[in-house]
Amino acid sequence: MIYEKKQQSSWIYLNRPEEMNSLSKKMTMEILQALEEIEQDDDIRVVILSGKGKAFCAGADLKELLRDLNKDPDGEKGILDYAEELFRKLNYLSKPLIVALNGVTLAGGLELAMTADIVVASEKTKIGDGHANFGVLPGGGGAVRLHKEIGINRAKYLLFTGDMFPAKEWKDYGFVHEVVPAEELNETAQKIADKVAAKSPLVLREMKRLVRDSADQKLDTSLRQELLSLKNHTHSYDFSEGLSAFSEKRTPEFKGY
């Protein structure tokens, strides 16, 4: 894994290009540590996840998974345990997450992409589920989340066949937000991150929570929570700063409280 800070955003690169950036225990632990630091760093407002080499991520390291299954039980966490922790951390990350797909995105790689708030991809990217190709079940949302992203019939086709399709088709599905030439991917992701980082961190965090929570709530409940959040937000500095900046015709300077 490679971790870089750029102004108010942080980049996390999966960096096992020779293994198509498959998730090993070591790399997963490194990503978890980076995410923990990001959550504690108020200077970081946006997170960007991408990969090095020709793949974004081909899922879990199946060789390591096989070793875990074949060894005697010793109470030590295996790759699936750390992967579960990683997906939980990403799903509940309080800061906006942009995933920049630089290449092959398969199985657990697709599940990683589904934790994103915004997905951009290079023209070279191909995306699919692929679990069925290896007799493996999804464990990070492939079967229970993909259909919410792209529709149930299309999701079942991808799950059952294991086929991969170009990022352009996934843009048509509504999953990928922008497809760009490979050499423009990082610049595009950074521009989006800079635009998002200029907004109120307080608003972004609460918006993200409301969107996530509303997925499994009745509409009336979600609307009440949204209104309550707005009422609470009116007491914040960022709310006052935003209205003042509007009145004074200037760019607001949000502080996140």
Question: Would you state the pLDDT for residue 215?
Answer: 85
Cα torsion through 148, 95, 188, 168, rounded to 10: -10
CB 111 within 8 A of CB 87: yes
- For the chain, where are the E strands, in sequence order? 2-6, 9-14, 46-51, 55-57, 97-101, 104-106, 118-122, 126-128, 164-166, 178-180
Q: Residue 47 half-sphere exposure, CB side, CA atoms within 13 Å?
A: 30
Which domains are present in the chain?
2-197 (3.90.226.10), 201-248 (1.10.12)
* Average confidence (pLDDT) per 10 residues, the chain, 257 residues: 94 97 95 96 96 95 85 78 94 97 97 97 97 92 94 96 97 97 98 97 95 91 94 95 95 94
CA distance linking residue 229 with residue 226, whole number of Å: 5
Q: Is the overall model pTM greater than 0.75, yes or no?
A: yes
pLDDT of residue 242: 95
Could you read off the pLDDT of 234-244 as tens digits, one per residue?
Answer: 999 999 999 99
Predicted local distance difference test score (pLDDT) of residue 66: 86
- Is residue 48 packed enough to be buried (19+ CB in 10 Å), middle (13-18) or exposed (0-12)? buried
Q: Is 136 helix (H, G, I), strand (E, B) or coil?
A: coil
DSSP-assigned letters across all residues of 56-94: EE-SB-HHHHHHHHHSPP-S---HHHHHHHHHHHHHT-S
* pLDDT at residue 30, rounded to an integer: 96
At 78-110, the pLDDT tens digits run: 888 999 999 999 999 999 999 999 999 999 999
Query: What is the model's pLDDT at position 57?
Result: 97
DSSP symbol at 137: -
